[in-house]
């Protein structure tokens, strides 16, 4: 039992207490996931059939890694029989076998967020409600909230409180939209992500025999990242575990970061109530990170009021201080990070896969992608617009979806006239109206085109085109009966005209679209090969599509290669990297401007910060930009409050010096000052920046500079624009007359000016574009 040797005492207890309810509540990097993994290995070693073990993880990637580790202890074949995966993937699989109970076809389609949004948009459009009030994204998140709290359409209409709340929010029709959306999905034979949990709950509560079957099957249940389960997931676990009560959950309340998706931190508290005999284990030693990183993270998280007090320490090396880089712009920030990676790769022999760039929002990736590409550094972006969400990939997948589920009208509308085959929108609408009026699926109309043709009101030419299209789909379906998914998909890509159409576009984007199709086809071959190796492997198209629908947490399942990882902090949970860059540490970005109005929201942002920092093993970098291109314009930004919450003893500035030049009557005098004076403080308020521009005290040098006309801050090594100087009076086409108060930037192409205009107030302009004239 070598695998037990590497455990500390509380870890050992958690791994070897096999029966009964157990909760491990412990800080980041303390070995929770490791405990869970070893516990599964220990269960199997002790003769428990892997078939009776259910392990739920937060991402598919985590499940895959866990399986690999378990395989090392118990062997590959036992590890394969484990039921392990995300809530969504495990319960999708169960729903497929039990779909008939709920009136769904077993090959139901799984809608990702984008599919769901498309369906909802159509519902909203058909209802002719104000699309400005009922914004699809907003409505969808509302519906998602209801579903995750098990509020079905009926339950909604039986709950006056909810209805009143929506009415007060001027969203009186939400209930109706919800009903129509649910009907549309059902008609399409499709479930969205939330349905996978909602319907599982329905299955387990309405059909006791099904519940009993899975209770007997899953005698041992383990859940990682328990702090981020939502109500719906909580109920599923509770129902399944209620017979044997062999349930082990591990989590960290300080890492609860999904409350916007309904995650309920109180599930952890409830655990003791639900299972009064539960054993609780706490782990205190962090094995992942240096002391410096652990201590810094502790200081920040201790600012949260809402938390269990935990003691987390590291006995690893003290390690380097966290390095902070202040950049001038988002591009500058990205260049710094890529240059730094390049350097560490060369000087410290770090692999590219040792690095992670973590950010708050997906839109931040582009600058980093550009910068990494320039240096030929290989990288992978996780999440965001993943491979499977790219248009061309989704188009081919839509063809394949129709082959397994004809009722999937979302897929049908995607492909019926793509590539263009003369079946325009008018025709499509006619078909929809026609089918709706007779209450039959469109596919039934297409199946019986000859019969319906006279009533359809379409000309013969169009009828022929529809007939040809549908005959082609039917031919693919026949092919699917005997051929493998790869061959069928290849045929679809060719015969549908998709490849030919994409090949016509010879721009780099066009070429990469064709490559993506090729890559999708490759992944099918990989899939077939993989399924062949599994004992009860299922190389069917439905299984392929299901895997894809659920793989949204990784870009492209292949996890090969030595690449830098780019991902949002949310996706980084549970992972670890030797070197982490936490970027965009600015107010309104992180904490996000949408989540800093209440204390609760701010505490969740702080937990995110804690998660991000605790991903780092050896080195952490913080970066922020003093200005950023956002929504098409340059905006000034201020360092994140989280930066000042990290005790200064844990951090070190890479470019701490700012040079302030004060122009006065006797010439120019320069002062170098530290941006971060003795106490941890930044320019939190706009006013503080102003003090540098006017005759005020500079806090850092504690010196009053008088008489002072203006000042500018330049980069230590920087230069500034020759033509326009701070203090110049200038005219701008639109804003009128003003005075330049601030110039910033080293790249002559990118010098920014702050100008106070007599009528328009303060504006930030890029000199190159602003076309200011001196007056």
Residues that bind ligand ATP (CB under 6 A): 6-8, 11, 26, 28-34, 252, 255, 287-288, 574, 576, 614
| Nearest distance, CB of residue 282 and ligand ATP, angstroms | 11
| Nearest distance, CB of residue 574 and Mg ion, angstroms | 4
- Which of 26, 397 has the CB closer to ligand ATP? 26
Q: Give which of Mg ion, ligand ATP, none residue 90 binds (C-beta under 5 to 8 Å, depending on kind).
A: none
Q: Order of strands across the sheet with 710-714?
A: 667-674, 657-664, 710-714
| Nearest distance, CB of residue 599 and Mg ion, angstroms | 27
User: Which residue in this structure is represented by tokens 């791994």?
Assistant: 15
Q: Give which of ligand ATP, Mg ion, none residue 28 binds (C-beta under 5 to 8 Å, depending on kind).
A: ligand ATP
- Which of 265, 770 has the CB closer to ligand ATP? 265
| Nearest distance, CB of residue 280 and ligand ATP, angstroms | 15
Residue 298 C-alpha from the chain's centroid = 25
- Which of 32, 465 has the CB closer to Mg ion? 32
The sign of the dihedral angle between the CA atoms of 613, 331, 516, 96 is: positive
- Which of 107, 256 has the CB closer to ligand ATP? 256
Is there a cis peptide before residue 534, judged by omega within 30 degrees of 0? Answer: no
What whole-number distance in Å separates Cα of residue 386 and Cα of residue 535?
A: 30
- Which of 159, 304 has the CB closer to ligand ATP? 304
What whole-number distance in Å separates Cα of residue 714 and Cα of residue 483?
A: 67
* Segment contacting Mg ion by CB under 5 A, of 32-40, 461-469, 509-517, 605-613: 32-40
Q: How many residues bind Mg ion (CB under 5 A)?
A: 3
Six token digits for residue 53: 């073990």
3-state SS string for 187-253: HCCEEEHHHHHHHHHHHHHHCHHHHHHHHHHCCEEEECCHHHCEHHHHHHHHHHHCCCCCEEEEECH
Note whether 367 and 328 are within 8 A (CB): no
The angle that helices 113-126 and 136-148 make with each other, rounded to 10 degrees, is 110
What whole-number distance in Å separates Cα of residue 273 and Cα of residue 422?
A: 63
Note whether 317 and 526 are within 8 A (CB): no
Strands 564-568, 773-774: pairing kind: unpaired
What whole-number distance in Å separates Cα of residue 136 and Cα of residue 124?
A: 8
595 is a contact residue toward Mg ion (CB under 5 A): no
Look up residue 589 and give its DSSP letter: B
| Nearest distance, CB of residue 254 and ligand ATP, angstroms | 9
3-state SS string for 106-137: CCCEEECHHHHHHHHHHHHHHCCCCCCCCCHH
Q: Give which of ligand ATP, Mg ion, none residue 34 binds (C-beta under 5 to 8 Å, depending on kind).
A: ligand ATP
Q: Give which of ligand ATP, Mg ion, none residue 11 binds (C-beta under 5 to 8 Å, depending on kind).
A: ligand ATP
Output the known binding site. 26-33
What single string gives the DSSP state of each residue in 724-751?
--TT-EEEETTTEEEEEEEEE-SSGGG-
- Which of 26, 412 has the CB closer to ligand ATP? 26
What single string gives the DSSP state of each residue in 602-666?
HHHHHHHHHHHHTTEEEEEEEEEESEEEETTEEEE--B-HHHHHS-GGGEEESS-EEEEEEEETT
Q: Give which of ligand ATP, Mg ion, none residue 29 binds (C-beta under 5 to 8 Å, depending on kind).
A: ligand ATP
- Which of 171, 250 has the CB closer to ligand ATP? 250
29 is a contact residue toward Mg ion (CB under 5 A): no
Closest C-alpha to 383, from 644, 59, 23: 59
Q: Give which of Mg ion, ligand ATP, none residue 162 binds (C-beta under 5 to 8 Å, depending on kind).
A: none
Q: Cβ atoms within 10 A of the Cβ of 771, count?
A: 11
Interacting residues of 667 by C-beta distance below 8 A, sequence separation 6+: none
Q: Give which of ligand ATP, Mg ion, none residue 30 binds (C-beta under 5 to 8 Å, depending on kind).
A: ligand ATP
- Which of 33, 232 has the CB closer to ligand ATP? 33
| Nearest distance, CB of residue 573 and ligand ATP, angstroms | 7
| Nearest distance, CB of residue 271 and ligand ATP, angstroms | 17
Output the known binding site for ATP. 26-33
Q: Closest residue to ligand ATP, Cβ-based?
A: 31
Q: Give which of ligand ATP, Mg ion, none residue 287 binds (C-beta under 5 to 8 Å, depending on kind).
A: ligand ATP
* Catalytic positions: 32-33, 224-225, 255, 615
Closest C-alpha to 320, from 296, 285, 342, 284: 296
- Which of 31, 738 has the CB closer to ligand ATP? 31
574 is a contact residue toward Mg ion (CB under 5 A): yes
Q: Give which of Mg ion, ligand ATP, none residue 745 binds (C-beta under 5 to 8 Å, depending on kind).
A: none
Note whether 240 and 234 are within 8 A (CB): no
| Nearest distance, CB of residue 11 and ligand ATP, angstroms | 6
The angle that helices 231-241 and 193-206 make with each other, rounded to 10 degrees, is 40
What whole-number distance in Å separates Cα of residue 396 and Cα of residue 403?
A: 11
| Nearest distance, CB of residue 263 and Mg ion, angstroms | 15
Note whether 161 and 155 are within 8 A (CB): no
33 is a contact residue toward Mg ion (CB under 5 A): yes
* Segment contacting Mg ion by CB under 5 A, of 501-509, 571-579, 598-606, 630-638: 571-579
- Which of 57, 107 has the CB closer to ligand ATP? 57
- At residue 171, φ and ψ (nearest 5 deg) are -125, 50
From residue 164, give the alpha-carbon distance in Å to each of 152, 161, 182, 293, 419: 16, 5, 21, 48, 46
Closest C-alpha to 289, from 309, 253, 318: 318
| Nearest distance, CB of residue 26 and ligand ATP, angstroms | 6
Q: Give which of Mg ion, ligand ATP, none residue 6 binds (C-beta under 5 to 8 Å, depending on kind).
A: ligand ATP
What whole-number distance in Å separates Cα of residue 100 and Cα of residue 104?
A: 6
Residues that bind Mg ion (CB under 5 A): 32-33, 574
């Amino acid at each position: 039992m070598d695998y037990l040797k590497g455990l500390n005492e509380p870890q050992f207890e958690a791994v070897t207490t096999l029966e009964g309810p157990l909760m491990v509540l412990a800080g980041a990097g303390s070995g929770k996931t490791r405990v869970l993994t070893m516990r599964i290995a220990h269960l199997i070693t002790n003769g428990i059939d892997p078939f009776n073990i259910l392990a739920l993880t937060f991402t598919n990637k985590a499940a895959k890694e866990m399986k690999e580790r378990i395989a090392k202890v118990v062997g590959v074949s036992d590890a394969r029989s484990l039921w392990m995966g995300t809530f969504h993937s495990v319960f999708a699989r169960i729903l497929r076998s039990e779909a008939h109970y709920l009136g769904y076809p077993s090959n139901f389609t799984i809608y990702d967020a984008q599919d769901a949004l498309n369906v909802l948009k159509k519902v909203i459009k058909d209802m002719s409600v104000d699309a400005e009030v009922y914004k699809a994204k907003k409505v969808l998140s509302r519906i998602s909230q209801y579903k995750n709290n098990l509020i079905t359409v009926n339950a909604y209409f039986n709950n006056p409180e909810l209805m009143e709340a929506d009415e007060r929010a001027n969203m009186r029709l939400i209930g109706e939209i919800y009903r129509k959306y649910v009907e549309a999905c059902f008609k399409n034979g499709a479930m969205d992500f939330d349905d996978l949990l909602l319907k599982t709950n329905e299955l387990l509560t309405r059909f006791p025999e099904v519940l009993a079957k899975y209770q007997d099957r899953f005698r041992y249940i383990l859940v990682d990242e328990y702090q981020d389960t939502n109500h719906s997931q909580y109920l599923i676990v509770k129902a399944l575990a209620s017979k044997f009560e062999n349930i082990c959950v591990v989590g960290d309340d300080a890492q609860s970061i999904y409350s916007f998706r309904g995650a309920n931190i109180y599930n952890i508290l409830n655990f003791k109530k639900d299972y009064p005999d539960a054993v609780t284990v706490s782990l205190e030693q962090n094995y992942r990170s240096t002391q410096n990183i652990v201590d810094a993270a502790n200081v920040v998280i201790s600012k949260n009021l809402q938390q269990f007090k935990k003691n987390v320490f590291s006995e690893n090396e003290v390690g380097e201080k966290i390095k902070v880089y202040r950049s001038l712009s988002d591009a500058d920030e990205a260049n710094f990070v890529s240059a730094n990676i390049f350097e560490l790769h060369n000087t410290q022999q770090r692999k590219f896969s040792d690095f992670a760039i973590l950010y708050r929002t997906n839109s931040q990736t582009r600058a980093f992608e550009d910068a990494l590409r320039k240096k030929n550094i290989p990288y992978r972006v996780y999440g965001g617009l993943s491979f499977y969400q790219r248009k061309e990939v989704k188009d081919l997948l839509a063809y394949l979806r129709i082959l397994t589920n004809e009722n999937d009208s979302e897929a049908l509308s995607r492909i019926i006239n793509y590539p263009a085959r003369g079946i325009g929108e008018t025709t499509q609408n006619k078909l929809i109206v026609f089918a709706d009026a007779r209450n039959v699926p469109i596919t039934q109309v297409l199946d019986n085109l000859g019969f319906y043709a006279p009533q359809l009101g379409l000309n013969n030419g169009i009828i022929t085109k529809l007939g040809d299209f549908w005959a082609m789909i039917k031919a693919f379906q026949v092919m699917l009966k005997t051929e493998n998914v790869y061959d069928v998909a290849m045929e679809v890509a060719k015969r549908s005209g998709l490849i030919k159409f994409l090949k016509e576009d010879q721009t780099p984007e066009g070429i990469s679209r064709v490559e993506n199709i090729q890559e999708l086809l490759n992944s099918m071959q990989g899939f077939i090969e993989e399924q062949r190796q599994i004992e009860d492997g299922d190389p069917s198209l439905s299984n392929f599509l299901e895997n894809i629908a659920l793989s949204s947490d990784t870009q492209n399942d292949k996890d090969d290669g030595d690449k830098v990882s780019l991902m949002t902090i949310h996706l980084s949970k549970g992972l670890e990297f030797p070197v982490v860059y936490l970027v965009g540490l600015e107010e309104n970005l992180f904490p996000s401007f949408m989540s800093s109005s209440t204390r609760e929201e701010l505490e969740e942002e702080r937990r995110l910060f804690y998660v991000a920092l605790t991903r780092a093993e050896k080195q952490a970098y913080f970066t922020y930009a003093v200005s950023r291109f956002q929504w098409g314009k340059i905006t000034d930004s201020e360092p994140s409050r989280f930066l000042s919450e990290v005790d200064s003893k844990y951090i070190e500035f890479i470019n701490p010096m700012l040079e302030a030049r004060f122009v006065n009557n006797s010439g120019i005098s320069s002062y170098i000052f530290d941006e971060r004076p003795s106490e941890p403080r930044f320019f939190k308020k706009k006013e503080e920046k102003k003090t540098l521009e006017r005759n005020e005290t500079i806090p850092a040098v504690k010196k009053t500079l008088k008489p002072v006309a203006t000042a500018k801050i330049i980069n230590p090594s920087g230069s500034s624009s020759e033509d326009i100087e701070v203090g110049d009076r200038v005219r701008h086409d639109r804003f009128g007359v003003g005075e330049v108060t601030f110039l910033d930037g080293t790249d002559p192409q990118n010098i920014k000016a702050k100008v106070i205009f007599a009528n328009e107030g303060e504006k930030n302009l890029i000199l190159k574009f602003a076309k200011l004239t001196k007056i």
